[in-house]
Structure 1
Amino acid sequence: MGAQRGKDLLLKLDFEQDGTFNTVAGIRSRKLTFNAETVDITNSDSAGRWRELLDGAGVRRASVSGSGLFKDASSDASVRELFFDGAIRTWQIVIPDFGTVSGPFQLTSVEYAGEHDGEVTYDLALESAGAIAFEAA
Protein backbone atom coordinates (compact mmCIF):
# COMPACT_ATOMS: atom_id res chain seq x y z
CA MET A 1 0.00 0.00 0.00
CA GLY A 2 1.47 3.31 -1.07
CA ALA A 3 0.92 6.71 0.51
CA GLN A 4 -2.75 7.59 0.93
CA ARG A 5 -4.70 10.67 2.01
CA GLY A 6 -5.84 10.27 5.60
CA LYS A 7 -9.20 11.84 4.75
CA ASP A 8 -10.01 8.83 2.55
CA LEU A 9 -10.22 6.47 5.54
CA LEU A 10 -13.95 6.29 6.30
CA LEU A 11 -15.93 5.25 9.36
CA LYS A 12 -19.43 4.03 8.45
CA LEU A 13 -22.34 2.82 10.57
CA ASP A 14 -25.28 0.49 9.87
CA PHE A 15 -27.53 2.13 12.48
CA GLU A 16 -30.77 0.52 11.33
CA GLN A 17 -29.13 -2.93 10.99
CA ASP A 18 -30.46 -3.28 7.44
CA GLY A 19 -27.14 -3.58 5.57
CA THR A 20 -27.03 0.12 4.64
CA PHE A 21 -23.85 1.88 5.76
CA ASN A 22 -23.64 5.66 6.08
CA THR A 23 -20.61 7.80 6.84
CA VAL A 24 -21.07 9.01 10.41
CA ALA A 25 -19.11 12.23 10.53
CA GLY A 26 -16.43 14.49 9.15
CA ILE A 27 -13.63 12.63 10.85
CA ARG A 28 -10.38 14.56 10.80
CA SER A 29 -8.26 12.06 12.69
CA ARG A 30 -8.88 8.31 12.94
CA LYS A 31 -7.09 5.16 13.94
CA LEU A 32 -7.77 1.43 13.64
CA THR A 33 -5.83 -0.92 15.92
CA PHE A 34 -5.75 -4.71 15.97
CA ASN A 35 -4.57 -6.47 19.13
CA ALA A 36 -4.04 -10.09 20.10
CA GLU A 37 -3.47 -11.17 23.67
CA THR A 38 -1.07 -14.01 24.29
CA VAL A 39 -1.32 -17.15 26.41
CA ASP A 40 1.99 -17.87 28.11
CA ILE A 41 2.74 -21.60 28.46
CA THR A 42 6.36 -21.25 29.57
CA ASN A 43 7.44 -23.92 32.05
CA SER A 44 10.60 -25.36 33.62
CA ASP A 45 11.26 -27.46 30.49
CA SER A 46 11.13 -24.47 28.10
CA ALA A 47 14.28 -24.38 25.95
CA GLY A 48 16.78 -21.83 27.29
CA ARG A 49 14.07 -20.48 29.60
CA TRP A 50 12.58 -18.62 26.66
CA ARG A 51 8.94 -17.70 26.84
CA GLU A 52 6.58 -20.00 24.94
CA LEU A 53 3.16 -18.97 23.66
CA LEU A 54 0.15 -21.12 22.87
CA ASP A 55 -0.60 -20.88 19.15
CA GLY A 56 -4.00 -19.37 18.32
CA ALA A 57 -5.21 -19.19 21.94
CA GLY A 58 -5.23 -15.44 22.64
CA VAL A 59 -8.21 -13.10 22.48
CA ARG A 60 -8.21 -10.83 19.43
CA ARG A 61 -9.85 -7.42 19.27
CA ALA A 62 -10.06 -4.31 17.17
CA SER A 63 -10.26 -0.75 18.42
CA VAL A 64 -11.28 2.30 16.44
CA SER A 65 -10.89 5.91 17.50
CA GLY A 66 -11.59 9.14 15.71
CA SER A 67 -12.14 12.83 16.14
CA GLY A 68 -13.68 15.55 14.04
CA LEU A 69 -17.05 17.13 13.29
CA PHE A 70 -20.46 15.50 13.06
CA LYS A 71 -21.85 15.60 9.54
CA ASP A 72 -25.29 16.69 10.68
CA ALA A 73 -27.66 16.65 13.66
CA SER A 74 -28.98 13.16 12.88
CA SER A 75 -25.45 11.67 12.85
CA ASP A 76 -24.75 13.28 16.21
CA ALA A 77 -28.06 11.98 17.59
CA SER A 78 -27.40 8.44 16.28
CA VAL A 79 -23.98 8.25 17.94
CA ARG A 80 -25.33 9.67 21.19
CA GLU A 81 -28.19 7.17 21.18
CA LEU A 82 -25.80 4.24 20.61
CA PHE A 83 -23.65 5.36 23.52
CA PHE A 84 -26.47 5.85 26.03
CA ASP A 85 -28.16 2.59 25.00
CA GLY A 86 -24.89 0.64 25.14
CA ALA A 87 -25.96 -0.76 21.77
CA ILE A 88 -23.77 -2.86 19.53
CA ARG A 89 -24.04 -2.12 15.81
CA THR A 90 -22.19 -3.13 12.67
CA TRP A 91 -19.57 -0.60 11.60
CA GLN A 92 -17.28 -0.45 8.56
CA ILE A 93 -13.82 1.01 8.40
CA VAL A 94 -12.85 1.64 4.77
CA ILE A 95 -9.08 1.82 4.23
CA PRO A 96 -8.20 3.01 0.71
CA ASP A 97 -6.17 0.56 -1.42
CA PHE A 98 -6.16 -1.90 1.49
CA GLY A 99 -9.71 -3.07 2.16
CA THR A 100 -12.73 -2.86 4.42
CA VAL A 101 -12.94 -4.05 8.00
CA SER A 102 -16.46 -4.65 9.27
CA GLY A 103 -18.18 -6.18 12.24
CA PRO A 104 -19.98 -5.49 15.50
CA PHE A 105 -18.59 -2.69 17.64
CA GLN A 106 -19.71 -0.97 20.83
CA LEU A 107 -19.23 2.75 21.24
CA THR A 108 -17.20 3.01 24.45
CA SER A 109 -16.40 6.71 24.60
CA VAL A 110 -17.74 10.00 23.22
CA GLU A 111 -16.16 13.31 24.15
CA TYR A 112 -17.27 16.78 23.04
CA ALA A 113 -14.98 19.80 23.05
CA GLY A 114 -15.00 23.34 21.75
CA GLU A 115 -13.14 26.60 21.91
CA HIS A 116 -14.98 29.90 22.35
CA ASP A 117 -13.95 30.96 18.82
CA GLY A 118 -14.31 27.60 17.05
CA GLU A 119 -16.57 24.70 16.27
CA VAL A 120 -17.65 21.86 18.56
CA THR A 121 -15.61 18.73 17.92
CA TYR A 122 -15.90 15.17 19.17
CA ASP A 123 -13.68 12.20 19.97
CA LEU A 124 -15.11 8.69 19.89
CA ALA A 125 -13.84 5.17 20.58
CA LEU A 126 -15.21 1.81 19.46
CA GLU A 127 -14.31 -1.70 20.65
CA SER A 128 -15.03 -4.87 18.70
CA ALA A 129 -17.86 -6.96 20.12
CA GLY A 130 -17.60 -10.09 17.97
CA ALA A 131 -15.93 -11.53 14.88
CA ILE A 132 -14.40 -8.98 12.53
CA ALA A 133 -14.34 -9.51 8.75
CA PHE A 134 -11.78 -8.18 6.29
CA GLU A 135 -12.36 -7.74 2.56
CA ALA A 136 -9.31 -6.77 0.50
CA ALA A 137 -9.63 -3.86 -1.93
Structure 2
Amino acid sequence: MSAQKGKDLLLKVDAEGQGNFTTIAGLRSRRIAFNAATVDITDSESAGRWRELLGGAGVQRAALSGSGIFKDAGSDATLRQIFFDSRVVPFQAVIPDFGTVTGPFQVTALEYGGEHDGEVTFEATLESAGALAFVAA
Protein backbone atom coordinates (compact mmCIF):
# COMPACT_ATOMS: atom_id res chain seq x y z
CA MET A 1 0.00 0.00 0.00
CA SER A 2 1.47 3.35 -1.01
CA ALA A 3 1.13 6.60 0.94
CA GLN A 4 -2.46 7.82 1.29
CA LYS A 5 -4.14 11.05 2.34
CA GLY A 6 -5.47 10.87 5.90
CA LYS A 7 -8.64 12.67 4.85
CA ASP A 8 -9.53 9.67 2.67
CA LEU A 9 -9.93 7.37 5.69
CA LEU A 10 -13.64 7.71 6.43
CA LEU A 11 -15.89 6.72 9.33
CA LYS A 12 -19.51 6.16 8.37
CA VAL A 13 -22.67 5.29 10.30
CA ASP A 14 -25.93 3.56 9.35
CA ALA A 15 -28.14 4.85 12.17
CA GLU A 16 -31.31 3.18 10.90
CA GLY A 17 -29.72 -0.17 9.97
CA GLN A 18 -30.99 0.06 6.39
CA GLY A 19 -27.61 -0.14 4.64
CA ASN A 20 -27.40 3.63 4.04
CA PHE A 21 -24.04 4.75 5.43
CA THR A 22 -23.43 8.46 6.05
CA THR A 23 -19.98 9.92 6.62
CA ILE A 24 -19.54 11.43 10.08
CA ALA A 25 -18.86 15.05 9.16
CA GLY A 26 -16.18 17.29 10.58
CA LEU A 27 -13.67 14.60 11.56
CA ARG A 28 -10.10 15.83 11.43
CA SER A 29 -8.53 12.61 12.63
CA ARG A 30 -9.70 9.02 12.53
CA ARG A 31 -8.32 5.71 13.70
CA ILE A 32 -9.18 2.03 13.59
CA ALA A 33 -7.42 -0.54 15.76
CA PHE A 34 -7.73 -4.32 15.66
CA ASN A 35 -6.85 -6.46 18.67
CA ALA A 36 -6.92 -10.14 19.52
CA ALA A 37 -6.62 -11.55 23.02
CA THR A 38 -4.27 -14.46 23.45
CA VAL A 39 -4.85 -17.77 25.23
CA ASP A 40 -1.65 -18.91 26.92
CA ILE A 41 -1.21 -22.70 26.94
CA THR A 42 2.39 -22.75 28.17
CA ASP A 43 3.22 -25.59 30.55
CA SER A 44 6.28 -27.19 32.13
CA GLU A 45 6.92 -29.18 28.94
CA SER A 46 6.91 -26.16 26.60
CA ALA A 47 10.08 -26.19 24.48
CA GLY A 48 12.77 -24.02 26.07
CA ARG A 49 10.14 -22.50 28.40
CA TRP A 50 8.88 -20.39 25.50
CA ARG A 51 5.34 -19.22 25.75
CA GLU A 52 2.83 -21.15 23.65
CA LEU A 53 -0.44 -19.71 22.39
CA LEU A 54 -3.61 -21.45 21.30
CA GLY A 55 -4.40 -20.17 17.80
CA GLY A 56 -7.93 -19.02 17.03
CA ALA A 57 -9.04 -19.09 20.66
CA GLY A 58 -8.76 -15.44 21.76
CA VAL A 59 -11.43 -12.77 21.55
CA GLN A 60 -11.05 -10.35 18.65
CA ARG A 61 -12.15 -6.74 18.80
CA ALA A 62 -11.90 -3.49 16.91
CA ALA A 63 -12.04 0.11 18.05
CA LEU A 64 -12.87 3.12 15.92
CA SER A 65 -12.17 6.65 17.06
CA GLY A 66 -12.25 10.11 15.64
CA SER A 67 -12.04 13.73 16.62
CA GLY A 68 -12.99 16.91 14.90
CA ILE A 69 -15.29 19.89 14.74
CA PHE A 70 -19.04 20.25 14.35
CA LYS A 71 -19.76 20.71 10.70
CA ASP A 72 -23.00 18.88 9.95
CA ALA A 73 -25.90 19.10 12.41
CA GLY A 74 -27.41 15.84 11.18
CA SER A 75 -24.44 13.56 11.76
CA ASP A 76 -23.67 15.31 15.07
CA ALA A 77 -27.21 14.68 16.33
CA THR A 78 -27.14 11.09 15.08
CA LEU A 79 -23.91 10.25 16.88
CA ARG A 80 -25.11 11.93 20.08
CA GLN A 81 -28.45 10.07 20.02
CA ILE A 82 -26.78 6.70 19.38
CA PHE A 83 -24.59 7.33 22.43
CA PHE A 84 -27.42 8.37 24.77
CA ASP A 85 -29.60 5.46 23.61
CA SER A 86 -26.66 3.03 24.10
CA ARG A 87 -27.55 1.53 20.73
CA VAL A 88 -25.40 -0.87 18.74
CA VAL A 89 -25.56 0.16 15.08
CA PRO A 90 -23.61 -0.58 11.88
CA PHE A 91 -20.54 1.56 11.31
CA GLN A 92 -18.09 1.42 8.46
CA ALA A 93 -14.42 2.34 8.17
CA VAL A 94 -13.22 3.00 4.64
CA ILE A 95 -9.44 2.63 4.44
CA PRO A 96 -8.07 3.79 1.06
CA ASP A 97 -6.29 1.14 -1.04
CA PHE A 98 -6.87 -1.38 1.77
CA GLY A 99 -10.58 -2.03 2.07
CA THR A 100 -13.75 -1.48 4.03
CA VAL A 101 -14.55 -2.81 7.51
CA THR A 102 -18.25 -2.97 8.37
CA GLY A 103 -20.06 -4.19 11.44
CA PRO A 104 -21.89 -3.40 14.66
CA PHE A 105 -20.32 -0.90 17.03
CA GLN A 106 -21.36 0.91 20.20
CA VAL A 107 -20.32 4.50 20.92
CA THR A 108 -18.50 4.07 24.23
CA ALA A 109 -17.17 7.59 24.66
CA LEU A 110 -18.29 10.99 23.40
CA GLU A 111 -16.32 14.01 24.55
CA TYR A 112 -16.68 17.72 23.87
CA GLY A 113 -14.11 20.44 24.36
CA GLY A 114 -13.09 23.90 23.30
CA GLU A 115 -10.76 26.78 23.96
CA HIS A 116 -12.06 30.29 24.70
CA ASP A 117 -10.62 31.52 21.39
CA GLY A 118 -11.39 28.45 19.26
CA GLU A 119 -14.07 26.14 18.01
CA VAL A 120 -15.94 23.44 19.92
CA THR A 121 -14.45 20.02 19.20
CA PHE A 122 -15.61 16.47 19.82
CA GLU A 123 -14.05 13.04 20.18
CA ALA A 124 -15.84 9.72 19.79
CA THR A 125 -14.75 6.17 20.56
CA LEU A 126 -16.57 3.11 19.26
CA GLU A 127 -16.08 -0.54 20.23
CA SER A 128 -17.03 -3.52 18.08
CA ALA A 129 -20.12 -5.38 19.27
CA GLY A 130 -20.18 -8.39 16.96
CA ALA A 131 -18.63 -9.95 13.88
CA LEU A 132 -17.01 -7.58 11.39
CA ALA A 133 -16.85 -7.97 7.62
CA PHE A 134 -13.85 -6.94 5.56
CA VAL A 135 -13.97 -6.24 1.83
CA ALA A 136 -10.60 -5.61 0.17
CA ALA A 137 -10.25 -2.55 -2.07
- Runs of 4+ with deviation above 2 angstroms: none
Q: Shift of the alpha carbon at 1:27?
A: 0.9
User: In the TM superposition, what whole-angstrom CA distance separates every residue of 1:66-117 from its partner, at most 9, and x where no partner exists?
Assistant: 1002332221111111111110000000011111011000000000011112
CA contact (8 A) 1:100 1:134 kept: yes
Name the % identity: 68
Query: What is the identity, as a one-letter code, of the residue corresponding to 2:68?
Result: G
- 2:50, 2:8 → 1: CA distance? 43
Query: What is the identity, as a one-letter code, of the residue corresponding to 1:133?
Result: A
87-96 vs 64-73, which moves further = 64-73
Listed as ranges, the gaps of 5+ residues in structure 1 are: none
Is 1:67 matched up with 2:67? yes
State the Cα RMSD in Å.
Answer: 0.8
TM-score (norm 1): 0.97
Is 1:132 matched up with 2:125? no
User: Superposed, which structure 2 residues align to 1:70-109 within 5 Å?
Assistant: 70-109=70-109
- 1:70, 1:25 → 2: CA distance? 7
User: Superposed, which structure 2 residues align to 1:1-137 within 5 Å?
Assistant: 1-137=1-137
Listed as ranges, the gaps of 5+ residues in structure 2 are: none
- 2:124, 2:105 → 1: CA distance? 12
111-120 vs 52-61, which moves further = 111-120
- 2:94, 2:80 → 1: CA distance? 22
